[in-house]
Amino acid sequence: MTASIEGETSDSTQEPAVEPLAAPAPSVPAPDFNDASLYINRELSQLQFNIRVLDQALDESMPLLERLKFLLIFSGNMDEFFEIRVAGLKDQIDFGHELIGPDRLAPKQSLAAISEIAHRHIERQYSILNERILPELAEHGIRIVRRNHWTHKQKLWVRRYFRHEVAPLITPIGLDPTHPFPLLVNKSLNFIVQLEGVDAFGRDSGLAIVPAPRVLPRIMRMPDEVCEGGDNYVLLSSIIHAHADELFAGMTVHGCYQFRLTRNADLTIDQEDIDDLAHALRGELYSRRFGDAVRLEVADNCPRDLIDYLLKQFGLREADVYEVNGPVNLTRLFGIIDSKTYPQLQFKPFTPSIPKILAKVEDPFAVIGKHDLLLLHPYESFSPVVDLLRRAAKDPQVLSIKQTLYRSGANSVIVDALVDAARAGKEVTAVVELRARFDEESNLSLAARLQQAGAVVIYGVVGVKTHAKLMLIQRREGRDLVRYAHLGTGNYHTGNARLYTDYSLLTSDQVLCEDLHKLFSQLTGMGKVQRMKKLLHAPFTLKKTLLDLIAGEAAIAAAGRPAQIIAKVNALTDAKVIAALCKASRAGVKIDLIVRGMCCLRPGIPGISQNIRVRSIVGRFLEHSRAYWFANDGEDKLYLASADLMERNLDRRIETGFPVESKKLRLRVKKELDMYLADNSSAWILQADGAYQRLQPSSNQNVRNVQQQLLDKLAASTGSIEVGSVG
């Protein structure tokens, strides 16, 4: 499917013909790089990525349960989009502090466009679910059985379940002067109930609210003895609907309608007025559940007067209500996907490869001391990184371990190894970023675990998130103190390492390790910015160096020599970087951008960005790695990084970009980037008008899917790892 910036969809297209790349004629006047028409709105671009995810649910080349998964991921993405992006725009309007981006779209205009697009595609999501996914699941024996299809046996089972498991936990709230409208938790399942009659106390308000118990699953598998084969599921919402009258003895229930409220979930901490970040964050985590309302989802059969009543209670407008034909909390259907009984409806499992050079050695330090090792997850295993840390925790020659933790999980094997190292008496320093969005509570827990074990825990720098992915091990070898490092583009989360594409570099390059040591000292201590020889670090040298490298390619092209840039990132929004890329394009630099999500650069504009091509890869794995490759007049340069090309990453975060200096490793990454650029089945091409077109191979082309190609090339095998000499 094709998704445009206006949200329209059309059939997939074949790869468009590529025009020859050439610099514009010298007589063309220099453009105004502040012109709003050169930029795509950030929020609308993010919304378009979510739509590309939804479109995977229609891709019949994928297994059926995986298509359902993409449909549910769309729901989760939209939840966060409203909780953060829409909520942020509303805050700007409410506080009279409207920020206008380079696209010059005001927050009110953005909200209007978002509402129109989101309404259309959320309606389309439910149509895909009801008309495509659920019928196809039923053909395979997987059914969500609706109330009007329950058999007598199923009705009896549901009634028992309701009376024994549900009713004891429900607290219905009748609305009257002594029972005002309750404060409802963010994204919780609730019901508004129309009643008739007078209760034991003479009350007859006619309305009640029933919050669904949060401790209960939202979808349950009915036992085989009440079904006729297959896996038959029932929704908690259906169970409550069917027995709402039992919650209001002696009253008549005229209607019961589910609804769900999305609230502002962004945390706001006054960084100039806190003494203890962890303490302040704990207080803010509670408020996240009860932030300002931003969206109301309600069953599409809910009467208009009840919808208006709910909107008034939450202070929302008509544009904020989404009437849906199905469960208001679709993400809870992930319980179906977890089923192990339908492997044919899911992606074929794979085993990440272990580098042959490490597979049978007892001492990984000896290997890394001779070679830089580069891993591409999830095709290649994350276990060498974990094993190195575990070995360091037990090795009596290891003196200290320093590590940044952004997302890892409080009970992860990474944290376990750091705890073991601290208990073994090693100097363990963990820079824990507490403000990793939606992982704050987990990070508070892991910080407490590490502190209890005796590790030094630092919360980074107030006002600047620590987003770099670094590990530094210092080991006594004879008379020398030797350092070993891991630098990554992803997080120290072993679960994500099976789902996200990311690079890991294992090295003992002592110059690079010294740079890491300086960076850790800068994070834990105080002092001026230290000069580093190889490592790029935001907010100080990363952006400047990238801009210099882009300008360098432009100068090479202006001199009439071949020039090329390939960048792979999650997002491109920084206006200065966009302007620099457009200037390089005007000079004749061939620029290929692989941008998974938001891209505010408008490619293909004659005389400005006609030499820039932008593609987004959406597939089985979440594309997460960041790579910056420059032809550099025949002496190519490659940096891998934790940072995207966004203002927040380049200007307001601790990020790193690290060079890949081995020619063999650079060639490997370049070949992999070329595979992304050759993909013709999971790639979406951004057009000058802001529309994305999904590529399809023509009749005489082979199907090229980069993720499958990398699985075939790297996974479930040994010997695929690339090594390079240290230096």
DSSP string, 544-595: HHHHHHHHHHHHHHHTTS--EEEEEES-B--HHHHHHHHHHHHHT-EEEEEE
The pair of structure tokens assigned to 598 is: 């938001």
Is 705 annotated as a binding-site member?
A: no
SS3 assignment, position 160: helix
* Integer Cα distance of 105 and 299 in angstroms: 32
Distances from the Cα of 681 to the Cα of 12, 378, 592, 698, angstroms: 10, 20, 17, 10
Residue 500 among known ligand-binding residues: yes
The two tokens of residue 548 are 């210099």
| 270-to-96, 263, 267, 275, 413 alpha-carbon distances in Å | 19, 20, 10, 10, 34
CA diameter of the chain: 89
Compute the distance between CA of residue 327 and CA of residue 190 in angstroms, rounded to an integer: 11
**470-505 burial, b if ≥16 CB within 10 A, otherwise e?**
bbbbbbeeeeeebbbbbbbbbbbbbebbeebbbbbb
Residue 360 CA: distances (Å) to CA of 54, 57, 166, 295: 43, 42, 54, 55
How many helices (H) and strands (E) the chain has is answered by 21, 31
Please state, in angstroms and as integers, the Cα–Cα distance from residue 603 to each residue in 180, 458, 628, following that order.
54, 42, 18
CA torsion 634-638-643-648 (nearest 10°) is -20
Task: Tell me whether strands 293-299 and 321-324 are parallel, antiparallel or unpaired.
Answer: parallel
Residue among 493, 507, 466, 508 at smallest CA distance from 378:
493
User: Please, which residues have CB within 8 angstroms of residue 432's CB and are 6 or more apart in sequence?
Assistant: 405, 443, 446, 447, 450, 457, 458, 459, 460
Active site residue 467: yes
What does the alpha-carbon distance between residue 557 and residue 436 come to, in Å, rounded to a whole number? 40
Q: Which two tokens stand for residue 47?
A: 């919304």
User: Distance (Å, rounded) from C-alpha 14 to C-alpha 424?
Assistant: 60
Please say whether the dihedral angle defined by the alpha carbons of residues 6, 10, 16 and 19, taken in this order, is positive or negative.
Answer: negative
- Distance separating alpha carbons of residues 496 and 622, to the nearest angstrom: 9
Mutual angle of helices 42-55 and 64-80, in 10-degree steps: 160
Q: Is 407 annotated as a binding residue?
A: yes
Q: Could you give the 3-state DSSP secondary structure of residue 621?
A: coil
Spatial contact of 430 and 457, defined as CB atoms under 8 Å apart: yes
| Encoded tokens for 651 | 């200007």
Q: Are 661 and 646 in contact (CB under 8 A)?
A: no
Select which of 377, 467, 493, 517 is catalytic: 467
SS3 261: strand
- Whether 596 has a binding-site annotation, put simply, is yes
Q: Which residues lie across from 192 on neighbouring strands?
A: 209, 257
The DSSP letter of residue 132 is I
Residue ranges for the binding site for ATP?
77, 500, 596, 624
Which residues are known binding-site members? 77, 407, 437, 500, 596, 624
Q: Which residues are catalytic, by number?
A: 467
Q: Which residues are annotated as a binding site for Mg(2+)?
A: 407, 437
